[in-house]
Structure 1
Amino acid sequence: MSNTSPNQQAAAPASRVQAFFESLVFGQRALALSVLSLLLVFLSWQGLQVRPEASFTKMIPGNHEFINNYMDYRQELADLGNVVRIVVESKQGDIFTPEFQEVLKQVTDEVFYVPGVNRDGMKSLWTPNVRWQEVTEEGFVGGAVIPNGYDGSEAMLARLKANVFKSGQVGVLVGNDFRSAIVLAPLQDVNPETGLPLDYRELSDFLEQNVRDKYSSDQAQIRIVGFAKVIGDLIDGAVQVVLFFVLAVLITFTLLWLYSRCLRSTFAVLACSIFAVFCQLGVLNLLGYGINPYSMLVPFLVFAIGVSHGVQIISAVVHNTVQGADKLNAAKLAFRSLYLAGITALVSDAIGFTTLMVIDIGVIRELAIAASIGVAVIIVTNLVALPIIASYVGVSKGGVAYARAQQDKASLVERLFARFARPRQAKAMLAVALILCGAGAYYAQFMKIGDLDAGAPELRPDSRYNRDNAYLVANYSTSTDVFVVMAKTEAEQCVAYSNLVWMDQLSAHLSNVPGVQKVTSVADVSKFGNFGMNEGSLKWYGLNRNQFITNASVAKAPEGLINSECTMAPVLVFLNDHKAETLDRVVAAMRVFNAERTPDSVEFLLAAGNAGIEAATNDVIEKAQTEMLIWVYGVVIALCLLTFRSPRIVLAVVLPLMLTSLLGQALMTLMGIGVKVATLPVIALGVGIGVDYGIYIFSKVREALAQGKNLVESYTYTLHQTGKAVAFTGVTLGIGVATWVFSPIKFQADMGLLLTFMFLWNMLGALILVPAIAWLLRIDNLAAKPAATVAPEAGAAVAETPSHSESSKVQNVRLESEPA
């Protein structure tokens, strides 16, 4: 064996590329560290300025057919999209008391002045646009539901009660049991007072403090539902994520110290990883982005990836220090041996995350941007800054002593996983993998798209919002889940008799779809008008061919059932829930109707309302999930092929990742988790992080194979060099995200469960299946060259024996044929 010392090895880079990068990082390390420190401090300060944000338009697909149709008529459908419903419930008796009406009036006035509320579309018993009408001998009569001169007297309350019955608002704005009433407030995307996007957290806080807390009493209870309230509750819950982040840091600190027994190394890794998080947030702030509830997980991922790569660097520094290198040369050797694998893994992560951009949903695209920026920052903090810091602080005497004591011992990782490179165990593991693949494929086929729970599935079933929503569904005839079909006609033709007939037929068609509560349109108004104009005779309850009579019958049509140009009339479909199966049935029924009936004068466009938007989102996600997987795996395969130049190595790296993705989909089926905006990115993120394990493992396997070792010896060498770090990283990341299962936000708990599974399974796949697949594909044949072909300038000799202690000393061996 060569007696070349580690310090001499560090003085002799294996290639011009290595020499260039080392001189760039270590040539002026004091200056480099100063510049990096200033940059990190500036970006961290910017990161502290980032604020939570949410936008209704960013939650929906940008160019879907349904959304384009909705945007064309958005103003006319204002009260069917982004609305808040405030339910005022009487705890003592019904709503026809002076005390209850006073509370309802005050809540209506309070909500009227909330910034961002579309006041023209606001509805309550106390707003003038909610009216009653009836048929008398003289024809139709009507007026505002609240009588003129209302003073709370018994006579006025009796008139109010009669007006409510005549208004048609029972089950709509008034509970079926007459114990509650609704204040309906449509919202704008922009706050007209500031010109800025509506701040949903601020709006939610206002509603809590100025409505719920202010008007809840022994006589009345306030319930609030709507998109804005969901987002507000998500942001409030996401703020608690900071506590989970702190917990993850504490867990990681403890495990890092137990791993290295060196405080300075532990603090260095944590500091660089935490700086990466703040810098990522700083870059987002400089680019004008905030952080929404769905991208709240990105700081966790950035921290996790930073720790993953930091552990590899520190492990190499400790190993080189034990071999006799000084602080500077130990850091140089660590950088030299890992920079190529590290950059490959991080670039693979970053490009893999950008594949999420194929999904045409704003929040997912922002998540992709945030994750990609975070990975780019890690290249600076953990692959550049950390080795420089290590060259100054080194490893403590305690850390060196602990590593030296462990050097000649086979670690638990080596004892558990080294056997899987042997033929017998490899065959067994491959058989197990095939069984798991079959089981995963079976259950994955039942994976559902969209929400699988009623209410707001982003929140816990027992959350206050979902309890409020359950009350509204149980006590009102029209649910909060509305699917809107837009009947488009020529100008002034939306109430033509022939068009009303088609609307009426569509209503009958959709009323028979399971999950549909009620269907209503201007055709129903015309029927009621004909009924009323003919002294309430039931035989006149229908559509009239005489257009003059039809025009008269819709003269009092409620606002929102026809637009001002009479070019569009919405058909409102009230649903039991917005589960994916319910939406699929409604959309399918509409497709059948449009295919079988093709009227010339009216076109039925899909879709608006919260349920219509949800259907469009589900459609985009269903189409995008396969495309996203193709892109993410395509990027990973391309980069691995570029790095290793061997299709067999690429297969060994990628096949375990594919098995984990398949098992992750099966887990979603078994746990009742649908593929939606919150969960779709998880599989891509899991693949992006999981590929790091395989890349680090194969960088060492190839190094050992180049020394003439067989596969078993090479894998033993790899486990000693990097296997412990891979296992440590997988376990640490898994424990860190496992804390999310306690989050009040259900989708974050779901993501925590899925990411924990994927982190651990990717780690196990790398340690168990990678050597087994390597044996199957005879990867050891790739390094059939004799040891003499190893580049002499690599600065390390080939070990003559495969002993554990000797193999652990071999550093930085490269094949002549290896690309620089």
Structure 2
Amino acid sequence: MAGALPDSQGVEHFRVVRDLADFDVRSGNWLERVIFNNRLKLLALFAFISVFLGWQSMQIEVNANFERMIPSSHTYIRNFLDNKEHVRGLGNQIRIAVENTQGDIFDPEYLKVLAEINDILYLTPGVDRPWLKSLWTPLLRWSEVTEEGMRGGPVMPDGFDGSPAKTKELRRNLSHSGAIGNLVSTNMRSSMILVPLLDRYPDTGKPINYLSLSRTLEEKIRSKETDKIRIHIVGFGKLAGDLIEGLTVVISYFALSVLIAGVLVFLYTRCLRSTLVLVSSAILGVVWLIGLMKLLGLELDPYSILVPFLLFAIGLSHGAQKMNGILQDVGRGTHKYVAARYTFRRLFLAGLTALLTNIVGFLVLIIIEIPVIRDLALMTSVGVTGLIFTKLVLIPVILSYTGVSPVAARRAVQEQHVEDASRTVVGRLWAMLEQLTRRRAALAAVSLSVLLLAAGLVMRVDLQVGDLDAGAPELRPDSRYNLDVAYVTDNFGLTSDQFAVLVKTPPAKCDAYQALVDSDRLAWELEHVEGVMAVSSFSERLRRIVGGMSEGYYKLATIPRDDRIRGYAANRVISDNPDSMNPSCEVMPLVAYLTDHKAETLERVLKTVEAFAATHNRDDVQFLPAAGAAGIESVTNIVVWESFYRMHLLLYAAVVVLCFVTFRSWRAVVVAIVPLLLTSILCEAIMVALGIGVKVATLPVIALGVGVGVDYALYLLSIQLALQRGGASLAEAYKGSLDFTGKVVALVGATMAAGVVSWAWSPIKFQADMGILLTFMFLWNMIGALLLIPALSHFLLRDIGRRPKDLEVREWLPQVSIEGTAGEPATEKPSLEVHSHAV
């Protein structure tokens, strides 16, 4: 290859080319020639793609989807989805509690406001209107047994006008409805409106826009608040809307991340033009991603908002490596065009391998059977694929035109050749790190790592799955939503944490005697499970009706063997509860109301149901978990926990394979993987310390941290191994690796951490948790790579490249000047600077 000096190991050392006429444009591999000999055409193509995808990105929608946030392919969730038409009241719904702070619910003024809110909700787009339930809807019914037989009707009297007579009738009807503690608070100061939601708008077929719904609730419902009336709104639709609303704050953090990145890169390079190129290309990668998401029909949601931040950070990492290589070549006097080609030639394979490792690592998340995580995996992989073009190709091409500041370039080279390392902070730090290649320091570093590993393993024993706090853990404890949840829990006997079991029989057989008896037995078992407040079932309601038919005698409130009595009672239950009892009499929900939705509570309830179903399921009756908010969450926890170890196994297997392909040495693979493993375990220990469970929001963090962290090892070890195979000692090779890419590794780690640490102040708690964990992983991966790679290399890679005639390999090294021109006398202290380019 023209302009290159090969050694016996095939490592190429690039000479300085000051005049472009002295450079052979036909040198390099076919890909390099295609790219750099057609630069203008390539830039025109990139400009066209960027404009098109930029236009697409401006049309991206931000939303959330209930069914995409649950493991819809799991058997238990299929039980719910296949039967959700029969149990409309257990699906996606909003609960609105209207409180009278100065009286009770029978106040005419309160009832008037409640009626206005009811009418507004009825006309709100996305509401499943027939199943809206409140004091003002006919779904809320009362019944009683009299001498003349069963009587009943809507709780709200016909022609209610607020008069004392009608109010008295309302009180009486309510006392016979069973709504107290459910739709009416136990202190009679507030009542609930249950608002079932559709999955899509009937007129357009588009998914429900939760942001629009949330804003409607705030503008038209919450605005009804006065000194006397307070509104409390809970449910997935409102939570999703609040999360999306909070994204506007998080998106502003992206601008902060860009600013921080720009400042740190400029302080490192002191070159404005290369800083602008680097930051702009990183932003361009994000624009490409969002545009591609629009083309693929994907949306941004509260979970996938992580991806643009991550993609910007990854793009900055790889771009910084390219910029650093060009800075050093230009600083030695090489023409900017040649420097760009040299950098492409040296770093394309290492960069491509690192990005492919990122892609494979992120694709591993597809094994998790939760659509929102699979979307995140697809988005991240598509985005990183785009980085192959915007970072590995576009940045060198642009810099081949713009070049870098000559002053900044000379400074970059001079800093590597200061004779006295103690003159600079970086020099002293590099000297300390170089000591880690020696036995005593290496043994100390490895021993410290073992101690940290042991401590991490001890702490991670307490790692839990699911939510560890009451309320909505996605938001801060003092958020309006969580305050509303606390009010509903404190004032209503039955909470919104419902764990429902679907009791399924053949059509018209739900009133079969043995099915009712078994259902009653399951209800009894659940009532005695810690964390269950109450249980409501078809059999329990039927017994109440039978007891009423027997003059209220409690001993006769049982399940009768007489088919006619059971059939009559069953019809009454179904007619009085059309929102939760289906007319075909084949699916009846058994609902356990829980004190909270903590992981341990859900696990106890689910195990009880599974054990009961295992011994009582048969052809004519089946007990199918799980519906209700708590039931769905319990299944989500199972899927997350099962995926946790599979994800780790596949992720590290993929990283090991790609590292082996890159290094062709199992010892080098061990050196690269150990810091990643240590970081993963310490991250889990931190989750335990901070009270963060493994859930949908945190599960991807470890995979993303490993996918990004392996980049450090790939760049450092690629250069180190190349230098060792060229004849350098381990200490010399690691020093050369630090000189060439060490500062960039430190820069990237600090920049990525600084970009996400601002999330700690996000109003969305799970994003704050993600920010804290990612900050730790970015920093610790960087620190671990700089400290452990030389220490582990002392024990595993010390003899790489050693040969009996080692002096013959080194004969030419003193002849290489600081400018890097082969064969000229050295003008300063001999160094391995030329080796540091060999990747």
TM-score range, shorter chain: over 0.9
Counterparts of 1:434 and 1:36, CA distance in 2: 48
Q: Offset of 1:369 from its aligned partner?
A: 0.9
Q: Offset of 1:477 from its aligned partner?
A: 0.8
Corresponding position: 1:236 with 2:245:
yes
Q: Offset of 1:694 from its aligned partner?
A: 0.2
Counterparts of 2:477 and 2:282, CA distance in 1: 35
Is contact 2:680–2:702 with CA below 8 Å preserved after alignment?
yes
Match of 2:333? 324
SS in 1 for 2:592: strand
Alignment of 1:613-652 (within 5 A): 613-652=632-671
Counterparts of 2:511 and 2:25, CA distance in 1: 80
Q: Offset of 1:116 from its aligned partner?
A: 1.2
Alignment of 1:556-567 (within 5 A): 556-557=572-573, 558-567=577-586
Counterparts of 2:22 and 2:470, CA distance in 1: 65
Q: 1:86 aligns with which of 91, 96, 118?
A: 96
Match of 1:742? 761
Q: Offset of 1:649 from its aligned partner?
A: 0.7
Is contact 1:707–1:799 with CA below 8 Å preserved after alignment?
no
Match of 1:817? none
Q: Offset of 1:513 from its aligned partner?
A: 0.3
Counterparts of 1:464 and 1:782, CA distance in 2: 64
Match of 2:10? none
Q: 1:29 aligns with which of 36, 39, 42?
A: 39
Counterparts of 1:357 and 1:49, CA distance in 2: 26
Match of 1:810? 835
Q: Offset of 1:5 from its aligned partner?
A: 3.5
Is contact 2:139–2:579 with CA below 8 Å preserved after alignment?
no
Q: Offset of 1:348 from its aligned partner?
A: 0.7
Q: 1:307 aligns with which of 300, 316, 328?
A: 316
**Cα distance change of structure 1 residues 727 and 416 upon mapping to structure 2, 3 Å threshold:** farther
**Cα distance change of structure 1 residues 484 and 797 upon mapping to structure 2, 3 Å threshold:** farther
**Cα distance change of structure 1 residues 805 and 359 upon mapping to structure 2, 3 Å threshold:** farther
Is contact 2:740–2:837 with CA below 8 Å preserved after alignment?
no
Match of 1:818? none
Counterparts of 2:145 and 2:21, CA distance in 1: 99
Match of 1:221? 230
Counterparts of 2:594 and 2:766, CA distance in 1: 23
Q: Offset of 1:479 from its aligned partner?
A: 0.5
**Cα distance change of structure 1 residues 688 and 4 upon mapping to structure 2, 3 Å threshold:** closer
> Amino acid of the residue matched to residue 335 of structure 1?
F
Match of 2:62? 52
Q: Offset of 1:491 from its aligned partner?
A: 2.2
Counterparts of 1:802 and 1:489, CA distance in 2: 91
Corresponding position: 1:368 with 2:384:
no
**Cα distance change of structure 1 residues 790 and 201 upon mapping to structure 2, 3 Å threshold:** farther
Stretch of structure 1 that moved more, 761-770 or 775-784: 775-784
> Amino acid of the residue matched to residue 525 of structure 1?
R
> Amino acid of the residue matched to residue 771 of structure 1?
P
> Amino acid of the residue matched to residue 694 of structure 1?
A
Alignment of 1:562-573 (within 5 A): 562-573=581-592
Is contact 1:174–1:476 with CA below 8 Å preserved after alignment?
yes
Alignment of 1:1-40 (within 5 A): 5-7=15-17, 18-40=28-50
* Structure 1 residues 610-631: Cα deviation after superposition (integer angstroms, max 9, x where no partner): 1111111111111111111111
Alignment of 1:584-733 (within 5 A): 584-597=603-616, 601-733=620-752
Match of 2:152? 142
Is contact 2:617–2:623 with CA below 8 Å preserved after alignment?
no
SS in 2 for 1:807: coil
SS in 1 for 2:799: helix
Is contact 1:261–1:402 with CA below 8 Å preserved after alignment?
no
Q: Offset of 1:561 from its aligned partner?
A: 4.6
Unaligned runs of 5+ in 2: 6-12
Q: Offset of 1:21 from its aligned partner?
A: 2.2
SS in 2 for 1:190: coil
Is contact 2:331–2:406 with CA below 8 Å preserved after alignment?
no
TM-score normalised by L of structure 2: 0.93
Stretch of structure 1 that moved more, 657-666 or 409-418: 409-418
Match of 1:518? 534
* Structure 1 residues 435-491: Cα deviation after superposition (integer angstroms, max 9, x where no partner): 111111111121111111111111111110000011000000111011111111122
SS in 1 for 2:778: helix
**Cα distance change of structure 1 residues 772 and 16 upon mapping to structure 2, 3 Å threshold:** farther
Is contact 1:797–1:810 with CA below 8 Å preserved after alignment?
no
Q: Offset of 1:12 from its aligned partner?
A: 10
Corresponding position: 1:105 with 2:115:
yes
Is contact 1:522–1:561 with CA below 8 Å preserved after alignment?
no
SS in 1 for 2:691: coil
Counterparts of 1:731 and 1:50, CA distance in 2: 31
Corresponding position: 1:121 with 2:134:
no
Q: CA RMSD in A?
A: 2.4
Corresponding position: 1:752 with 2:771:
yes
Counterparts of 2:825 and 2:493, CA distance in 1: 83
* Structure 1 residues 111-162: Cα deviation after superposition (integer angstroms, max 9, x where no partner): 0011111112110000011111222222222221111121111221121122
Is contact 1:584–1:615 with CA below 8 Å preserved after alignment?
yes
**Cα distance change of structure 1 residues 616 and 271 upon mapping to structure 2, 3 Å threshold:** same
> Amino acid of the residue matched to residue 182 of structure 2?
V
SS in 2 for 1:446: coil
> Amino acid of the residue matched to residue 212 of structure 1?
R
Counterparts of 2:58 and 2:554, CA distance in 1: 68
Q: 2:169 aligns with which of 144, 149, 159?
A: 159
* Structure 1 residues 556-603: Cα deviation after superposition (integer angstroms, max 9, x where no partner): 212245322211211111111111101100011112223344556321
Alignment of 1:59-78 (within 5 A): 59-78=69-88
> Amino acid of the residue matched to residue 661 of structure 1?
S
Counterparts of 1:386 and 1:648, CA distance in 2: 33
Corresponding position: 1:532 with 2:548:
yes
Q: 1:446 aligns with which of 437, 462, 472?
A: 462
Match of 2:493? 477
Corresponding position: 1:393 with 2:402:
yes
**Cα distance change of structure 1 residues 598 and 293 upon mapping to structure 2, 3 Å threshold:** closer
Counterparts of 2:398 and 2:59, CA distance in 1: 27
Corresponding position: 1:462 with 2:478:
yes
TM-score normalised by L of structure 1: 0.95
Q: Offset of 1:810 from its aligned partner?
A: 3.4
Match of 1:175? 185
Aligned residues between the structures: 812
> Amino acid of the residue matched to residue 532 of structure 1?
G
SS in 2 for 1:453: coil
Counterparts of 1:719 and 1:55, CA distance in 2: 47
> Amino acid of the residue matched to residue 608 of structure 1?
A
* Structure 1 residues 40-74: Cα deviation after superposition (integer angstroms, max 9, x where no partner): 22212211211102111101112111111111211
> Amino acid of the residue matched to residue 516 of structure 2?
L
Match of 2:441? 425
> Amino acid of the residue matched to residue 47 of structure 1?
S
**Cα distance change of structure 1 residues 183 and 195 upon mapping to structure 2, 3 Å threshold:** same
Q: Offset of 1:293 from its aligned partner?
A: 0.8
> Amino acid of the residue matched to residue 464 of structure 1?
R
* Structure 1 residues 528-547: Cα deviation after superposition (integer angstroms, max 9, x where no partner): 11111111122212111111
Is contact 1:497–1:543 with CA below 8 Å preserved after alignment?
yes
* Structure 1 residues 633-664: Cα deviation after superposition (integer angstroms, max 9, x where no partner): 11111111111111111111111101111111
Q: 2:105 aligns with which of 70, 95, 104?
A: 95
> Amino acid of the residue matched to residue 175 of structure 1?
S
Is contact 2:613–2:624 with CA below 8 Å preserved after alignment?
no
SS in 2 for 1:462: coil
Is contact 1:48–1:278 with CA below 8 Å preserved after alignment?
no
Q: Offset of 1:33 from its aligned partner?
A: 1.5
Match of 2:257? 248
